[in-house]
Amino acid sequence: MLIKLLKIMVKKSKIEWTEATWNPSVGCTKISEGCRNCYAEVFARRLQAMGIKDYEEGFRFRILPHRLEEPLHRKKPTRYFVNSMSDLFHEDMPQDFLDAIMDVISRTPQHQYQILTKRADRMYDYYISRKAPQNIWLGVTVEHPRRLNRIDLLRQIDARIRFISFEPLLEDLGVPDLTDIHWAIVGGESGPKARPMKKQWILNIKAACERYDTEFFFKQWGTWGEDGVRRSKKKNGNLLEGRRYQSYPSV
Ligand code: SF4
């Protein structure tokens, strides 16, 4: 476990669809169905127990100005997941700090930045009066039918890449409208309290990707396998009907 936690600290990500993480803020507040078993909360509390300074307040939202310039010091082109331990558009994120983060993104065109939020309304409000930098990917999480409206907000933002994370997929969403959405990630929940995901729910999203010309990335089954059996996430793997789907949008 210590090794796993240290890997998070050095920021090279094990998340399948990114390369590294950059967390200019940490901590969050639960806001929707997918937050129930939030991995960031679990890790934040462990890091707090280990005495790691950035996590001395546990999972309470806080900005970390000393981390702001991290990407400026990295020359190698890198795909960053911004705020894997938080939500960039959290209510307590100060507007000027958000502007400072966007400034760093604009000044590092060698990198790509993936921003994923459950606060689609604040992200919409922020970008509707600003141009999103060209090297940014903007995404929303849609884990439940009640959250489909986030897609409508996202598609109105003028971003080069717009994506949806259907993870943890908790209910059948039917075949959602993915007009003008470039990329869809699907994943099941993992951990001791994981809720199961049904194969037909995934196939529906895959069908939507085919209909709307959206790249499809199946990340994992999680704790419940394709056959509905509970196992380790690793054993359940990421094959869907015997095939691996890991497409990316072209940039
Ligand atoms: S929005 Fe994300 S980081 Fe925040 S509580 Fe929910 S799952 Fe965790």
Domains and CATH numbers, the chain: 2-244 (3.80.30)
Residue closest by Cα to atom 5 of ligand 1: 30
Q: How far is the CA of 60 from the centre of ligand 1 (A)?
A: 11
| Tokens matching residue 28 | 């969050």
Quick one: pLDDT band at residue 13, thresholds 50, 70, 90?
A: confident
Pocket test for ligand 1, best of 8, 31, 166 (most atoms within 8 A of CB): 31
Q: Can you tell me which residue has the tokens 């760093």?
A: 104
What mean pLDDT, rounded, does the chain reach?
Answer: 94
Quick one: pLDDT band at residue 6, thresholds 50, 70, 90?
A: very low
* Residues with Cβ within 8 Å of residue 218, at least 6 apart in sequence: 185, 186, 187, 202, 206, 238, 240, 244, 245, 246
The CA-CA-CA angle for residues 115, 232, 196, to 5°, reads 65
Pocket test for ligand 1, best of 30, 37, 43, 93 (most atoms within 8 A of CB): 30
How do residues 101-122 score in pLDDT, each as one tens digit?
A: 999 999 999 999 999 999 999 9
Q: How far is the CA of 41 from the centre of ligand 1 (A)?
A: 8
One-letter amino acid at 143 equals E
How do residues 188-243 score in pLDDT, each as one tens digit?
A: 999 999 999 999 999 999 999 999 999 999 999 999 999 999 999 999 999 999 99
42 C-beta closer than 6 A to ligand 1 = no
118 C-beta closer than 6 A to ligand 1 = yes
Q: How far is the CA of 29 from the centre of ligand 1 (A)?
A: 6
